[in-house]
């Protein structure tokens, strides 16, 4: 009789146990991979860490505002901007050819948005490891280390002077695999989703600060 009772109990629990196996809310390699793949499919480009408010007004060489002069020259050589003389300086504007590479960057102070440049296409290679998910006041988050394959990097993003002006581009200039990328994921009712990939976005997120919220 005891065996029969436990037998019925095991049968009753089986569906619940099976439902728990492979749950999309588990911190697993496959769940993290799916979340990162979804994110890269939507916006798997690599962005430089500098943005500009166009049109950009440049002073003549030797006056204030000099650092952007060289950047604009390099962007013009890449075909992303077009500069013209304007009195004591020049004005640089976005070109039609730059449109596929433009990304709007919101101002942290609520002012006018600026524009950065993104390129290439990244696809998940492998999830390497992850830190045990942390529980904050309002969020459960995980930090995931993974590798990606890089494709469709334009020639101008590999050019020496471009890499010097935008050091972030060095990472994609001479390789087709990035081995130690970082993604921050949060747990939702629908499973894990990427909050941010710091190396691919403008700015970065403090993982510890996120959990302290």
Mean pLDDT for each 10-residue chunk of the chain (213 residues)?
A: 39 39 87 97 92 92 66 97 92 98 91 95 96 82 96 96 95 92 94 79 49 48
Give the pLDDT of residue 88: 84
Integer Cα distance of 27 and 192 in angstroms: 8
Q: Which tokens is 45 given?
A: 């480009």
Co-location of 64 and 102 in the same domain: yes
Name beta bridge partners: 141.
Answer: 134, 186
Give the pLDDT of residue 108: 82
Co-location of 201 and 143 in the same domain: yes
Q: Which tokens is 51 given?
A: 């943005």
Residue 1 lies in a domain: no
By the 8 A CB rule, do 125 and 176 touch?
Answer: no
Co-location of 192 and 94 in the same domain: no
Which of these three, 69, 97, 117, is where a domain ends?
A: 117
Co-location of 124 and 112 in the same domain: no
Give the pLDDT of residue 199: 55
Integer Cα distance of 79 and 102 in angstroms: 12
Co-location of 187 and 208 in the same domain: yes
Co-location of 89 and 38 in the same domain: no
Q: Strands, DSSP E only, in the chain? A: 46-47, 56-59, 81-86, 89-94, 102-105, 114-119, 121-130, 134-135, 140-151, 177-188, 191-196
Co-location of 112 and 127 in the same domain: no
**What is the reported pTM?**
0.75
Co-location of 138 and 90 in the same domain: no
Instruction: Give me Rg for the CA atoms of the chain.
Output: 24
Co-location of 73 and 113 in the same domain: yes
Co-location of 35 and 69 in the same domain: no
State how many domains the chain has: 2
Residue 10 lies in a domain: no
Residue 160 lies in a domain: no
Q: CB count, 10 Å around CB of 9?
A: 10
Residue 159 lies in a domain: no
For residue 148, the enclosing domain spans 25-45+120-153+175-212
By the 8 A CB rule, do 28 and 183 touch?
Answer: no
With b for 16 or more beta-carbon neighbours within 10 A and e for fewer, the 98-133 pattern comes to beebebebeeeeeeeebbbbbbbebebbebeebeeb
Integer Cα distance of 123 and 130 in angstroms: 18
Helix (H) or strand (E) holding 5: helix 2-20
Co-location of 136 and 183 in the same domain: yes
By the 8 A CB rule, do 114 and 107 touch?
Answer: yes
By the 8 A CB rule, do 185 and 142 touch?
Answer: yes
Give the pLDDT of residue 55: 96
Residue 167 lies in a domain: no
Co-location of 105 and 189 in the same domain: no
Residue 64 lies in a domain: yes
Integer Cα distance of 148 and 78 in angstroms: 25
């Amino acid at each position: 009789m005891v065996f029969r009772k436990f037998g019925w109990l095991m049968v009753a629990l089986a569906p619940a146990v099976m439902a728990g196996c492979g749950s999309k809310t588990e911190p697993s390699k496959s769940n993290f991979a799916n979340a990162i793949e979804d994110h890269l499919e939507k916006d798997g480009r690599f962005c430089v860490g500098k943005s500009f408010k166009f049109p950009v007004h440049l002073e003549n060489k030797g006056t204030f505002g000099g650092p952007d002069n060289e950047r604009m020259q390099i962007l013009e050589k890449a075909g992303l901007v077009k500069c013209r003389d304007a009195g004591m300086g020049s004005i640089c504007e976005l070109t039609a050819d730059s449109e596929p590479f433009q990304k709007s960057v919101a101002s942290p102070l609520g002012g006018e948005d600026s524009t950065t440049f993104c390129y290439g296409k990244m696809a998940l290679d492998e999830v390497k490891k992850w830190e045990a998910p942390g529980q904050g006041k309002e969020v459960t988050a995980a930090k995931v280390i993974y590798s990606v394959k890089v494709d469709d990097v334009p020639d101008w993003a590999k050019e020496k002077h471009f890499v010097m002006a935008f050091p972030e581009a060095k990472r994609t200039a001479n390789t087709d695999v990035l081995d130690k990328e970082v993604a921050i994921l949060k747990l939702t009712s629908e499973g894990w989703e990427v909050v941010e990939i710091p190396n691919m976005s403008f700015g970065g997120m403090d993982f510890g600060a996120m959990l302290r919220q």
